[in-house]
Amino acid sequence: MQGSSQSDRPQTAVTLTGVSKQFGAVDALNDLSFEVSTGKFFVLFGPSSVGKTTTLRAIAGLEKIDAGKIEIDGQDVTEAPIRGRGVAMVFQSFALYPHLTVSQNFAYPLKEAGLPANEINQRVGETVEMLSLSHRTDNQPSTLSGGEQQRVALGRALIQRPNILLLDEPLTNLDAKLRHDMRAELKRLHRQFGMTIIYATPDELEALSMGEDIAVMKEGTVVQQGSPDDLYETPRNLYVAAKIGSPHMNLLDASISNAVDGLDTPFGELSTGRFGLSGGEDVVMGIRPSDIRLAQDSEPHVNMKVQLVEPLGDITIVSVDAAGANLRMVLSEAGALGVQPGHELPVVIPAESVHVFRKADGIAMPAGT
């Protein structure tokens, strides 16, 4: 069950250039541009109503765009029909045929494509075996569990041997354990077939744990694209900084110091470099909870009062009061031993880990300029 070999295909599987789509007065997609490399597990990440589903439907040919260009394997398919794009899509609702059995659901797209009966039977047999559904072949979807319905939806897409698989929030309707299991299953299938997967999700854990390349969407466009590490380490703006990372980045109002090359913060001056901004300019300071630590010995620090302690097994999230501002820090289980609300802790904010964003537009400023 494999599409054309990787060596026969262009390095870029999908390219969207300046794509726009309106529904009445609503801009669903707004000058949207990104590239998906062949064979990548690519994630479209963002909350509801940012255009993820519309983007997938446009790639599949189910939605006609108003402006821009869509290319698949280097070919302009903007006006091309659905069939022939080498794309299969799995919807959030699964969209199974309720009156057909599992085997018949698998066979349906192959019959529509005019494949001979012996090849259809062979592919159906391979697919039910691969997805551990051999004992459910004669069942209708209504008799299956949520996880089994999900596997049938995946199988019906995979059986077509697409070069590109589009997945629209496919795990939303599953419980936590099934979501975890299906994430692992999808990664396994991706490795096995080497196909290009474009996966839409509002779930940060899904995006970071599954995506090799992630496009963060806002208001119908991509505001940053990169690896999970890129997005975590160097968010380009406040929007991405607030979306990526768990617990999320601490964000505090601050200003560029006139006295030192650094910041005036709620808990005092912090020497960080000037970030290319003028003294007194309002900014937002960002610091990851995992970058904040407790002082050792006589190391310079700020005393902060503990507000909340959240044990999470091997780590503990501790919220402290930083002169009226709230900061969350991540401590090891041993490091948080005995810490209680009301205690004072000697807290160190490493200057090299601080992010600075212009207050006016939320754009990240490069450090040390």
Count CB neighbours of 112 within 10 A: 10
User: Residues 27, 54: contact at Cβ < 8 Å?
Assistant: no
CA terminus-to-terminus distance, the chain: 53
Which pLDDT score is estimated for 241?
95
**CATH code matching the domain that covers 248-365, chosen among 3.30.420.40, 3.40.630.10, 2.40.110.10, 2.40.50.100:** 2.40.50.100
Residue intervals in the chain for CATH 3.40.50.300: 6-239
**What's the count of helices (H) and strands (E) in the chain, helices before strands?**
8, 21
Which of the residues in the chain have pLDDT under 50?
1-4, 369
Which pLDDT score is estimated for 90?
87
Long-range contacts: 133-142, Cβ < 8 Å, 24+?
133/102, 136/102, 137/101, 137/102, 137/103, 138/101, 138/102, 138/103, 139/101, 139/102, 140/98, 140/99, 140/100, 140/101, 140/102, 141/94, 141/96, 141/97, 141/98, 141/100, 141/102, 141/105, 142/98
Amino acid type, 63: E
CA 272 to chain centre: 30
Residue intervals in the chain for CATH 2.40.50.100: 248-365
92 closest CA partner among 202, 15, 197: 202
Which pLDDT score is estimated for 183?
87
Amino acid type, 293: R
**CA separation for the pair 231, 62 (Å, rounded):** 30
Which pLDDT score is estimated for 56?
97
Residue 306 is inside which H or E element, if any? strand 302-311
| Residue-level length of the chain | 369
CATH class of the domain comprising 6-239: alpha beta
**CA separation for the pair 66, 79 (Å, rounded):** 11
**CA separation for the pair 47, 243 (Å, rounded):** 9
Amino acid type, 139: N
pTM for this entry? 0.87
User: Residues 221, 234: contact at Cβ < 8 Å?
Assistant: no
The DSSP annotation for 176-217 comes to: HHHHHHHHHHHHHHHHHH--EEEEEES-HHHHHHH-SEEEEE
Amino acid type, 265: T
Amino acid type, 218: K
User: Residues 21, 66: contact at Cβ < 8 Å?
Assistant: yes
Which pLDDT score is estimated for 161?
85
- Residue 247 preceded by cis peptide, ω within 30: yes
**CA separation for the pair 157, 1 (Å, rounded):** 11
